């Protein structure tokens, strides 16, 4: 009897959606991946939505993949449930990184608009959950123009497998490297 592969959950970043290029690429490579849909403007709502998605597939010991703000959420939920995670150019200080976006925000893929307030940013600290992930791989492109790779070095050096990639951008251009790491985690989970 063969072991069941873990579920894969991809958590997109701020102003993104399951319609993004990364989401579509992951869906093509991993047809069963769950593309999380969540509120990126309001942490209380977003956390509840993501927590429910993860809890629904806990019997399959999901591997969480998060990009940018999704990296923050993937890491926190991986700690909470002792899961494996892969973080791409993670935003580990959203209360700082997202300050320029206070006010009216437009989703780059859906065109939906909403308002983010300072009070929303102040809530992220309460979602820095305890525990440790079962395994964590962090990939950060040095060319990321929004989140300096040094943030990942400061946060993850000695705590996770940290892969710094020359070049790139905040969009995360070396998807094949991420796919290799995801496949390694899948193999080690069976």
Alpha-carbon torsion, ordered 80, 84, 86, 91, to 10 deg: 10
Span 135-157, average pLDDT? 96
Which is nearest to 9 in space by CA: 54, 68, 71, 58?
A: 54
Segments forming the whole domain that contains residue 64: 8-188
Those residues whose C-beta lies under 8 Å from the C-beta of residue 167, and which sit 6 or more positions away, are 141, 142, 143, 173
pLDDT tens per residue, range 58-107: 999 999 999 999 999 999 999 999 999 999 999 999 999 999 999 999 99
Residue 91 forms part of a structural domain: yes
The CA distance from 127 to 142, in Å, is 27
Those residues whose C-beta lies under 8 Å from the C-beta of residue 115, and which sit 6 or more positions away, are 41, 103, 104, 105
Burial 3-28 (b: 16+ CB within 10 A, else e): eeebbbbbbbbbbbbbebebbeebee
* 3-state SS assignment for residue 164: strand
Residue 40 forms part of a structural domain: yes
Above 70 in pLDDT, residue 1?
A: no
Those residues whose C-beta lies under 8 Å from the C-beta of residue 179, and which sit 6 or more positions away, are 29
What average pLDDT is seen over the chain?
Answer: 95
Look-up: residue for tokens 């926190």? 76
Residue 3 forms part of a structural domain: no
pLDDT confidence of residue 4: 74
Residue 49 forms part of a structural domain: yes
**HSE (side-chain half, CA atoms, 13 Å) at 103:** 3
The CA distance from 24 to 41, in Å, is 22
Residue 2 forms part of a structural domain: no
Residue 41 forms part of a structural domain: yes
Span 156-185, average pLDDT? 96
CATH number of the domain where residue 108 is located: 3.40.50.1820
Phi, psi dihedrals of residue 142, rounded to the nearest 5°: -65, -20
Residue 16 forms part of a structural domain: yes
Please state the domain count of the chain.
Answer: 1
Residue 148 forms part of a structural domain: yes
- Residue with the larger pLDDT of the pair 3 and 128: 128
Above 90 in pLDDT, residue 3?
A: no
């Amino acid at each position: 009897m063969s072991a069941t592969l873990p579920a894969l959950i991809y958590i997109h970043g701020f102003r993104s959606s399951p319609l993004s290029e990364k989401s579509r690429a992951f869906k093509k490579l991993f047809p069963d991946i769950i593309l999380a849909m969540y509120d990126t403007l309001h942490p209380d709502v977003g956390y509840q939505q993501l927590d429910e998605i993860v809890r629904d597939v806990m019997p399959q010991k999901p591997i969480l993949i998060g990009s940018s703000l999704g990296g923050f959420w993937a890491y926190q939920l991986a700690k909470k449930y002792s899961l494996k995670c892969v973080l791409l150019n993670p935003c580990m200080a959203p209360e700082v990184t997202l300050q320029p976006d206070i006010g009216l925000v437009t989703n780059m893929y859906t065109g939906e608009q909403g308002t983010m307030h300072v009070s929303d940013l102040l809530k992220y600290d309460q979602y820095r959950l305890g525990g440790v992930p079962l395994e964590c791989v962090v990939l950060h492109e040095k060319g990321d123009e929004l989140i300096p790779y040094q943030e990942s070095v400061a946060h993850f050096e000695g705590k996770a497998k940290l892969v710094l990639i020359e070049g790139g951008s905040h969009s995360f251009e070396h998807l094949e490297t991420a796919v290799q790491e995801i496949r390694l985690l899948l193999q080690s989970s069976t």
